Amino acid sequence: MKNLRGLLSVFLIIMSFGIPDFAQAQDQQQGFINLDCGLQANESPYTEPMTKLTFRSDADFIKSGKSGKIQNVPGMEYIKPYTVLRYFPDGVRNCYTLSVLQGTNYLIVAMFTYGNYDNLNTQPKFDLYLGPNIWTTVDLQRNINGTREEIIHVPRSTSLQVCLVKTGITTPLISALELRPLRNDTYIPQFGSLKNLFRVYLTDSKDVIRYPVDVHDRLWTPFFMPGWKLLRTSLSINTSDNDYNLPEDVVATAATPANVSSPLTISWNLETPNDLVYAYLHVAEIQSLRDNDTREFNISVGQEVSYGPVSSDELLVYTLFNTSPVKCKGGTCHLQLIRTSKSTLPPLLNAIEAFTTVELPQSETNANDVIAIKSIETSYQLSKISWQGDPCVPQQFLWDGLTCEYTNMSTPPRIHSLDLSSSELTGIIVPAIQNLTELQRLDVSNNNLTGGVPEFLAEMKSLLVINLSGNDLSGSVPQALLDKVKKGLKLNIEGNPNLCSSGSCNKKKDSIMLPVVASLASLAAIIAMIALLFVCLKRHPSRGKGLSSSQQQSIVTKKRRYTYAEVLAMTNNFVRVLGKGGFGMVYHGYINGTEEVAVKLLSPSSAQGYKEFKTEVELLLRVYHTNLVSLVGYCDEKDHLALIYQYMANGDLKQHLSGSSIISWVDRLNIAVDAALGLEYLHIGCKPLIVHRDVKSSNILLDDQLQAKLADFGLSRSFPVGDESHVSTRVAGTFGYLDHEYYQTNRLSEKSDVYAFGVVLLEIITNKPVIDQTRDMPHIAEWAKFMLTRGDISNIVDPKLQGVYDSGSAWKALELAMTCVKSSSLERPNMSHVVHELKECVISENKRTRDIDTVRSIDTNLSFSTDMNPKAR
């Protein structure tokens, strides 16, 4: 058996790692990700002219490493994509973080070329990880000209991390990284992922086949042996019925044994004798058979595994594979195709792929904990070199300042303590901390934190120790937190000169507290009056018009009260209508002749409208946020009830999307962020939390700067104080935006708003109606899900944008929207996570640079050697 190491040359026409960012490139239509590692930002992006793949710098996908330039790899003098690399002199683990579609089968390729970039002539050796699990060892000491590592893997979340781990004294490096989505019904192992050994098509050609001939950009290397006979056809071959989307060029040639009585045999060595193997054989009969010709054969892998008989229809592709992994005796696999006794023709094979299984047993850290800790990292702009990859696993790479609970490898670890002491933190104690629901110890001492001690700390049931000392916090410690101290919570607030417990505050600041008490008394009186007003209304439901003069009580508010005559004057007798709702009409107006306002007038005939009106009054009296419409004033005069809001010059989002003007991609993302911030405030900033219940594009208003604000709180509901995660209530909302789970169970939670926001986000991305009966999939979420199965974002994003957007951010926004509209509320993110992800989309879009006019040419090929190449005899 002849050793063919080096016979199979992998010709890498282009290496690229570009998230589908540019509309003019075909790769984005496939959902590809291509990074040229170490490429400078001013040289990114660029399009490789042969494949038309667009790739870009990796700088936005990793926060560490340095750029290096290779020198002396034979045959690479003119290959521009391989002139740079990224190397990692600092830290043990350095990780790329990529946004992916959870549950999608991906072909992942990593490329490594040393090229003496450091003038040390010391080829490195290091480990490569997928998330918390080892993928392979990269050994450039053995493969001095470079190596290509490839795996087929299904991500467990919407984030994929590829990590380089230093294992000795040499410095890890990487040249390129590529991801290509595959069909989910192909390449399915019983467990783990599939590490590529080789992928060859049997021909005497020297051409390497890849994208665009192969739509998945699989790299097909030519392979042929003496003693074989070559078959070739120029006829069209039916590949459309084959799930593996094989290029016709791959199956247009085939090998048979020159001796018709001999088997066709291919052998290859494994890294270890215990490796488990999957082989995919692609067979198409490309020879015109005479009436008395028969081609039939069995497939054998050693004495223990056999399959057959196999025969193929003419010009039709079949893919044969083992559904269970095979162990090759002695670490060498011998695949044989053996002619049956009734066959007149020898066996035939067009192409073959071989893989070993890679077990990935370690579960990633709990997804909600990961989202929370990354939000904390972003909020405080932390730049810790160890804060890369999974926060908790592997344990030897645990993030500095964290401790985690480990149950077993199949159970996601949980974060138990967070120590950010002496980390130069500024700002407030961020709300994201409360999303670490298993947190037992929190230490943010010796920083520059300001603001008050938040109430949510008292609501974190697992917290045992809180250290807030050595900051500049102010105000009073919440009584609920002090009550928990009495029950055993350890709280350290020393070194905050403006912070006091409730007792000391009473002694030292009587002069300050007296007006506060008076204000509280006034507020209590206001609340009592409002309550009395609503009690009266409840006792007279048949009045639909509101209150008669004998029952009238003023709605007391800090906002200015206007008379009905003033409302008539400011609206010019209601001459200009802005909109209409269940409560009545909304009119345009002016205050003082200059300040534009919107006047919501309650219709006397609207009983349901009054209920919504009352709810909106209750809510707007107690909440304020820059992304909620603000109340300018009100009218409460006999039968005339009106609310007066700031005027939003650009109307609502639905109108603006459907209008003649085009909202840019970055403006759409900023609108989404604004609306998400408004919802996040209702869900987290309000105690008790508030569910909007009618989130839709027509309830998102835009001012003259396209800043978005949530409006129409008539259906909103507050949760009762306590531990409830939902309330039972009648179903209310707008068809198309209505959470199916809420509709079926009557159980309302903030995740119902998340679902509706996901629908709005799909509108923002696609500019398509929420319900369209002319579509095969009428609902926008079902339609988008169907389109995603094609891996084609260009037919999903609003064509009005004409491809002018960062498609990495478009993919991220689309994946976020699809997660928001999950049928189960447990699978949906919270609004803090939504805000975080959308902000990252904005950052990605803002970093998009202008197209590069110059293109890169490649004049030669790059060859890699490996022991995993097949051998034949």
Cα 513 from chain centroid (whole Å): 48
Average pLDDT score over the chain: 83
Residue 94 has pLDDT above 90, yes or no: yes
Query: What is the reported pLDDT for 712?
Result: 82
Residue with tokens 């071989």: 354
For residue 291, count CB atoms less than 10 angstroms from its CB and return exposed for 0-12, middle for 13-18, buried for 19 or more. Answer: exposed
What does the angle CA 50 – CA 56 – CA 62 come to, to the nearest 5 degrees?
Answer: 145
Domain end: 150, 165, 192, which one? Answer: 192
Contacts of 71 (CB under 8 A, 6+ apart): 115, 116, 117, 119
Q: Are residues 116 and 168 in the same domain?
A: yes
Taking 3-state DSSP, the helix, strand and coil percentages for the chain, each rounded to the nearest 5, stand at 25, 25, 50
Question: Residue type for 816, please?
Answer: L
Instruction: Give per-residue pLDDT as tens, 636-692.
Output: 787 788 888 888 888 899 988 887 778 999 999 999 999 999 999 888 877 778 888
> Measured in Å, how far apart are the chain's first and last C-alpha atoms?
6
Residue 674 counted as domain residue: yes
% of the chain residues with pLDDT over 90: 58
The 3-state DSSP class for residue 353 equals strand
Instruction: Give per-residue pLDDT as tens, 406-424.
Output: 988 889 999 999 999 999 9
C-beta pairs of 768-776 under 8 Å, 24+ apart in sequence: 768/798, 770/736, 770/737, 771/735, 771/736
Query: What is the reported pLDDT for 131?
Result: 95
- Structure-model confidence comparison of residues 543 and 175, the more confident one: 175
**CATH code, domain carrying 397:** 3.80.10.10
HEC-encoded secondary structure of 185-209 = CCCCCCCCEEEEEEEEEECCCCCCE
Q: Are residues 601 and 692 in the same domain?
A: no
Question: Residue type for 823, please?
Answer: S
Q: Are residues 538 and 561 in the same domain?
A: yes
Q: Are residues 484 and 539 in the same domain?
A: no
Highest-pLDDT range among 368-377, 547-556, 788-797, 853-862: 368-377
Determine which helix (DSSP H) or strand (DSSP E) holds 47, and give its type and residue range: strand 46-47
Residue 441 has pLDDT above 70, yes or no: yes
Q: Are residues 478 and 403 in the same domain?
A: yes
pLDDT confidence of 296, banded at 50, 70, 90? very high
Residue 378 counted as domain residue: yes
Whole-prediction pTM value? 0.60
Residue 94 counted as domain residue: yes
**CATH code, domain carrying 205:** 2.60.120
Query: What is the reported pLDDT for 604?
Result: 67
**CATH code, domain carrying 549:** 3.30.200.20
**Count: domains in the chain:** 5
DSSP one-letter string for 470-485: SS--EEE--HHHHHHH
Residue 6 counted as domain residue: no
pLDDT confidence of 729, banded at 50, 70, 90? low
Domain end: 291, 326, 358, which one? Answer: 358
Q: Answer whether 805's CB lies under 8 Å from 797's CB.
A: yes
Q: Which residues are catalytic?
A: 694
**CATH code, domain carrying 118:** 2.60.120.430
Q: Are residues 819 and 681 in the same domain?
A: yes
Instruction: Give per-residue pLDDT as tens, 523-578.
Output: 444 444 444 444 333 333 333 333 333 233 333 334 577 899 999 999 999 989 88
Q: Are residues 684 and 749 in the same domain?
A: yes
pLDDT confidence of 203, banded at 50, 70, 90? very high
Task: Find the farthest-apart pair of alpha carbons in the chain and give their distance in angstroms, rounded.
Answer: 109
Q: Are residues 544 and 414 in the same domain?
A: no
Q: Are residues 316 and 343 in the same domain?
A: yes
DSSP one-letter string for 317-337: EEEEE-SS-EEPGGGEEEEEE
Tell whether 600 is in a known binding site: yes
Query: What is the reported pLDDT for 727?
Result: 55
CA–CA separation, 485 and 83 (whole Å): 61
Q: Are residues 417 and 492 in the same domain?
A: yes
CA–CA separation, 608 and 805 (whole Å): 43
Q: Are residues 639 and 657 in the same domain?
A: no
Mean pLDDT over 805-824 rounds to 91
Q: Answer whether 211's CB lies under 8 Å from 27's CB.
A: yes
- Structure-model confidence comparison of residues 833 and 720, the more confident one: 833
Instruction: Give per-residue pLDDT as tens, 119-147.
Output: 999 999 999 999 999 999 999 999 988 99
Residue 251 counted as domain residue: yes
Q: Are residues 68 and 185 in the same domain?
A: yes
Query: What is the reported pLDDT for 81?
Result: 56
Residue 507 counted as domain residue: no
Domain end: 170, 192, 214, which one? Answer: 192
Residue 45 counted as domain residue: yes
Query: What is the reported pLDDT for 82?
Result: 61
pLDDT confidence of 715, banded at 50, 70, 90? confident
**Structural domain harbouring 203:** 198-358
Residue 841 counted as domain residue: no
pLDDT confidence of 72, banded at 50, 70, 90? low
CA–CA separation, 252 and 234 (whole Å): 7
Alpha-carbon dihedral of residues 157, 159, 162, 167, nearest 10 degrees?
-70
